[in-house]
């Protein structure tokens, strides 16, 4: 679970990122979950774009992807989600939580 300070830190890092994963009318399936998990392992923090064709609620999509991939939701802004999962070889050092 991320603290507020850690979420702010991750949002600052994620601000300039381009979306790596797109969720469309195919919704959330096994291949999307696998692709998201691989992207998290490679990058630690990723941006996910929910397309207009996706009928699911953005919060449901964020919670489901985070749960399936063992990640934390750093931000939900409009149709964009920022996910974070510490990699086996971490590149990002989070500030200490209070």
Structural domains of the chain in order of their starting residue, each with its CATH number: 4-84 (3.30.110.60)
pTM reported for the whole predicted model? 0.91
The pLDDT assigned to 97 comes to 65
The two structure tokens encoding residue 47:
């941006």
49 contacts 80 by C-beta, under 8 angstroms: yes
List per-block mean pLDDT (blocks of 10 residues) for the chain, which spans 98 residues: 92 94 89 94 94 92 95 95 91 81
* 49-75 residue pLDDT tens: 999 998 889 999 999 999 999 999 999
């Amino acid at each position: 679970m991320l603290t507020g300070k850690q979420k702010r830190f991750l949002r600052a890092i994620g601000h300039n990122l381009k979306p790596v994963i797109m969720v469309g009318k195919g919704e959330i399936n096994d291949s999307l979950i696998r692709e998201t998990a691989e992207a998290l392992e490679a990058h630690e923090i990723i941006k996910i774009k929910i397309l207009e064709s996706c009928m699911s609620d953005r919060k449901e999509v964020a919670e489901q992807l985070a749960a399936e991939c063992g990640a934390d939701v750093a931000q939900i802004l409009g149709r964009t989600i920022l996910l974070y999962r510490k990699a086996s070889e971490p590149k990002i050092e989070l500030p200490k939580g209070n």
